Structure 1
Amino acid sequence: MPDAVWQKIQDHPCYSEDAHHYFARMHIAVAPACNIQCNYCHRKFDCANESRPGVVSEKLEPEEALRKVLAVAAEVPQLSVVGIAGPGDALANAEKTFATFALIHEALPHLKLCLSTNGLMLSDHVDRIAAIGIDHVTITINMVDPEIGARIYPWIFYRHQRWEGIEAARILHQRQMAGLEALTARGILVKVNSVLIPGVNDEHLTAVNQAVRARGAFLHNVMPLISDPSHGTYYGLNGQRGPTPAELRKVQDQLGADAKLMRHCRQCRADAVGLLGEDRGAEFTRDKLGEAKPFDPAQREMYLAVVERERADRQNAKEAAQVAHKIEEAPVLVAVATKGGGRINLHFGHANEFQIYEVGPDGARFVGHRRTDKYCVGGHSEPDAMATSIAALEGVAAVFCAKIGERPRQRLKEAGVEAVDAYAFDYIEASAITWFAGRSQSGTVAATA
């Protein structure tokens, strides 16, 4: 990777899988309006219990957003990126969006600025995006065929007119491609998000990938459709299912043979704060900001030094494990309970997601994550949550955690999943490689393949 590109992504948790172990993002909800309707979207305000795009608890004005960013930066040294991702569309609220970015850039110039958009109005604002120093833009592109697009987007509002059906999808497609080309021509990194909708665009995403790569997209993120009926979306209310983990991975693997894919996306709320996989937004609501302490650059510099050492140590441990263990067995999937830092550092019962790694002859590599419910709540185990965890671990050979009780260990064993807590607080990849080598030598792999 060119050094100039690495400098842009090394501490961006969305653009670098490595960075997401160490750095935090913050979404600020200053963009409530939207100019298209997606069948998978239903924006909700004042909602604290749903973790998905389009959901916020507070809508902010630019000055309020700056106050919140300053408070978070003072408390969260991991913060490296501030993004505007809604709850509507950032460029359907262009004046608020750019005013907010200008305030943040002036106050905290070290933070990366990141913008997410559906792309409809992107071409009109590329010059402003470049001028203000936004060097990461995400575009949601779900189709390049308007006939498929008409099944995803009931309407768009463009040039003071409402468009519907295939014509709406055609306009959106043309505008998305033009905006993507204009951004990449200026050297701005573009991540394309695509929602995988079984039976609608699942087979079509190969064409989407080819189109966006041809126009210079840096990263392609294929996300599963969220279609719980309780969310009130058109798809959810009309029985459109989301993909299974196996279906999602199949599409990702098909595209990943010759493309950069993002597999660690958490489909964050529009007001999310913290590391990917966690949300500290409730700690920074208006009523809790008070007299926030000032941002201390020295604290951040200390954290960056720690990250640099951790990254080097983690890579060295991974390489040493690969050298020490030459394995010829077929790869398996393992799950990891972690709270960041690239380490196995979370109690099984406290995990609300598992990071999934493939471990085999070529080492260990991150391939995705799966959500679950916490098994332990307030010191008590929740039997239903254990069933959810077992379902989330389908196809996984082992789950690595810092600690696990005997009851869930036995439940996992009955489900064919090995609970591993012998590598507590060690690095993930090195531990997975070492475990797999021992499993291979003992003949367990061959017996369960």
Structure 2
Amino acid sequence: MKPQPSSCLSMEVEEEISRHPCYSEEAHRFFARMHIPVAPACNIQCNYCNRKFDCVNESRPGVVSEVLTPQQAERKVKGVAGQLMQLSVVGIAGPGDPLANPERTFDTFARVKEHVPDVALCLSTNGLTLYRHIDQIVELGIRHVTITINAIDAEVGQQIYPWVFDEGVRYEGTAAAELLISRQLLGLELLASKGILVKVNSVMIPGVNDQHLPEVSRRVKELGATLHNVTPLIIAPGSQYEKDGRKAPRPKELNHLQEILGRDGMKVMRHCRQCRADAIGLLGQDRNQDFGLDSMEEDPTVNGRARALFQVELDAKIAQRIKAKQARQGLRSGGQTTRIAVATRGGDKVNQHFGHATEFMIYDTDGADVLLLGVRKIQAYCHGKADCNGDKNATLQEIISILKDCRILLCSGIGDAPRATLNKIGVLPLVRKGDIQEAILESVKYSSYFENINISKG
């Protein structure tokens, strides 16, 4: 049967997110984002976070190389915008919580708005103090806000948040969870009433909130959330969850949950990369090291006209892709889908060697439509020639377990040992380069390779 998207958004919303790589699957292939690390303090504690290893915000490690002042952030944004023409979004996501550092956060946004007015402003928060800052958000023209909501039931929430600190008072247990949840839902409702697009992030924590997240999704949709992004648990070293021995969900568990959420009509994000709080570039890339403050001019120049012309060209490419996709829908096979893994360094290309990949993009296709299911993170298999030729490598075995539900793997190169091991479990590695969508549709004809193979995919 034909792969189905999670849901449809209105034309007005689609237009507004058309250049936002975190909100739009199409945009993430062409447009870049920049996270500015100006907010070091945090006002809650999460059991998957250890502040000695940076704060976790938006359900991913808030790792940064350095925390910037608003003045430094202004200079860096101007420097990046002057060089990275596809930069379309500037956000603040940590490394703590931006609204636990409101002066630094809003000062930075005001500077960006003044000096690089063509970028969209994006804020990520745990939501504890969000309701206090709605007017500032509206006044600054911040149109995209992400709230991390892991539970709407305090009994579940207390297993995630040991304490919350607000206005000089420390709350613990269910009291902490009740306060945080009530503030999150209030903030979401207030933002939606102002027409601001809200993405809700949730961390999938097996044994804690995995069964509860459909209820979360339904509630935030009722309150006006535009998008729900569920990401797998990442456990910081030394965190409470590491001490408890908790494990991250397996890819098929995450995929199953995303499918459930989509059935309720919520638009589900599947291309999240759980980025650093100082990430720069396309999703799946991090070019922060290419834009060091030491190498920038004191007052970088931003050519607004050149940026506008460049981004119009990207808009045209996206429109062309959408048009081609609509044309293919008339050729729909109506048959079974094929699951395909792609090794990529970004840019919507098959351009990564199997041994160097640190993630795989997972797609389903029926030969006409191509649906992104999500991103599966791995450790790179190859750290030298010996590793690439060793079929007993423990990392390879872990990668095999992650890919075993796929039929085809597309990559720019692969060694003999991993090729043979993948074949044994019924995964066909194909060496390809170029556009991901074209490569997927071309590779489907090789599905007949499996017709006479009796393999349990697990």
Fold-level match, TM-score > 0.5? yes
Partner of 1:15, secondary structure, is coil
Aligned pairs (5 A) from 1:264-303: 264-289=271-296, 294-303=301-310
1:91–1:405 distance in 2 versus 1, CA, 3 Å = same
Aligned pairs (5 A) from 1:250-261: 250-257=256-263, 258-261=265-268
Corresponding residue for 1:340? Answer: 346
Pairwise CA distance, 1:304: 1.9
Partner of 1:349, secondary structure, is helix
Residue type of the partner of 2:27? A
Query: CA separation in 1, counterparts of 2:145 and 2:127?
Result: 10
Corresponding residue for 1:18? Answer: 26
> 1:212 pairs with 216, 220, 223, which one?
220
1:96–1:291 distance in 2 versus 1, CA, 3 Å = closer
Corresponding residue for 2:407? Answer: 397
Q: Say whether residues 1:227 and 2:235 are aligned partners.
A: yes
- Which string of whole-angstrom CA distances, capped at 9 and with x for unpartnered residues, describes residues 306-343 of structure 1? 323432443354455554562522x2321112233433
Partner of 1:11, secondary structure, is coil
Query: CA separation in 1, counterparts of 2:331 and 2:262?
Result: 28
Aligned pairs (5 A) from 1:364-443: 364-377=370-383, 382=388, 383=390, 384=393, 385-422=395-432, 424-426=433-435, 428-440=436-448
Q: Say whether residues 1:200 and 2:208 are aligned partners.
A: yes
Q: Is the 8 A contact 2:75 2:300 kept in 1?
A: no
Q: Is the 8 A contact 2:406 2:427 kept in 1?
A: yes
1:83–1:379 distance in 2 versus 1, CA, 3 Å = farther
Residue type of the partner of 1:132? L
- Which string of whole-angstrom CA distances, capped at 9 and with x for unpartnered residues, describes residues 97-154 of structure 1? 0000000000000011100111110010001000100000000111111111111111
Q: Is the 8 A contact 2:54 2:95 kept in 1?
A: no
Partner of 1:435, secondary structure, is helix
Corresponding residue for 2:250? Answer: 244
Pairwise CA distance, 1:26: 1.1
Residue type of the partner of 1:247? E
Pairwise CA distance, 1:27: 1.0
Query: CA separation in 2, counterparts of 1:24 and 1:332?
Result: 30
The size of the alignment, in residue pairs, is 440
Partner of 2:171, secondary structure, is strand
Query: CA separation in 1, counterparts of 2:167 and 2:297?
Result: 42
Q: Which structure has more RCO (C-alpha within 8 Å, separation ≥ 6)? A: 2
Corresponding residue for 2:5? Answer: none
Q: Say whether residues 1:122 and 2:130 are aligned partners.
A: yes
Q: Is the 8 A contact 1:318 1:430 kept in 2?
A: no
Partner of 1:400, secondary structure, is strand
> 1:186 pairs with 172, 189, 194, which one?
194
Corresponding residue for 1:99? Answer: 107
Pairwise CA distance, 1:407: 4.2
Query: CA separation in 2, counterparts of 1:46 and 1:248?
Result: 25
> 2:69 pairs with 61, 69, 73, which one?
61
Pairwise CA distance, 1:43: 3.4
Q: Say whether residues 1:176 and 2:162 are aligned partners.
A: no
Partner of 1:221, secondary structure, is strand
Partner of 2:217, secondary structure, is helix
Q: TM-score, normalised to structure 1's length?
A: 0.90
Structure 2 unpaired stretches of 5+: 1-8
1:314–1:438 distance in 2 versus 1, CA, 3 Å = farther
Corresponding residue for 1:311? Answer: 318
Q: Is the 8 A contact 1:45 1:57 kept in 2?
A: no
- Which string of whole-angstrom CA distances, capped at 9 and with x for unpartnered residues, describes residues 242-294 of structure 1? 11111111111111112111111111111111111111112223334355752
Pairwise CA distance, 1:390: 2.5
Range moving further from structure 2, 102-111 or 298-307: 298-307
1:323–1:435 distance in 2 versus 1, CA, 3 Å = farther
Corresponding residue for 2:4? Answer: none
- Which string of whole-angstrom CA distances, capped at 9 and with x for unpartnered residues, describes residues 415-446 of structure 1? 32111225x213x3343234324525x67388
Q: TM-score, normalised to structure 2's length?
A: 0.89
Aligned pairs (5 A) from 1:10-89: 10-44=18-52, 52-89=60-97
Partner of 1:195, secondary structure, is strand
Residue type of the partner of 1:28? I
Q: Is the 8 A contact 1:413 1:419 kept in 2?
A: yes
1:305–1:445 distance in 2 versus 1, CA, 3 Å = farther
Aligned pairs (5 A) from 1:88-167: 88-167=96-175
Partner of 2:372, secondary structure, is strand
Residue type of the partner of 1:283? D
Pairwise CA distance, 1:367: 0.7
Q: Say whether residues 1:328 and 2:373 are aligned partners.
A: no
Pairwise CA distance, 1:303: 2.9
Query: CA separation in 1, counterparts of 2:294 and 2:37?
Result: 16
Range moving further from structure 2, 172-181 or 333-342: 333-342
Pairwise CA distance, 1:395: 1.2
Pairwise CA distance, 1:77: 1.7
Pairwise CA distance, 1:21: 1.0
Pairwise CA distance, 1:70: 1.3
1:137–1:325 distance in 2 versus 1, CA, 3 Å = closer
Structure 1 unpaired stretches of 5+: none
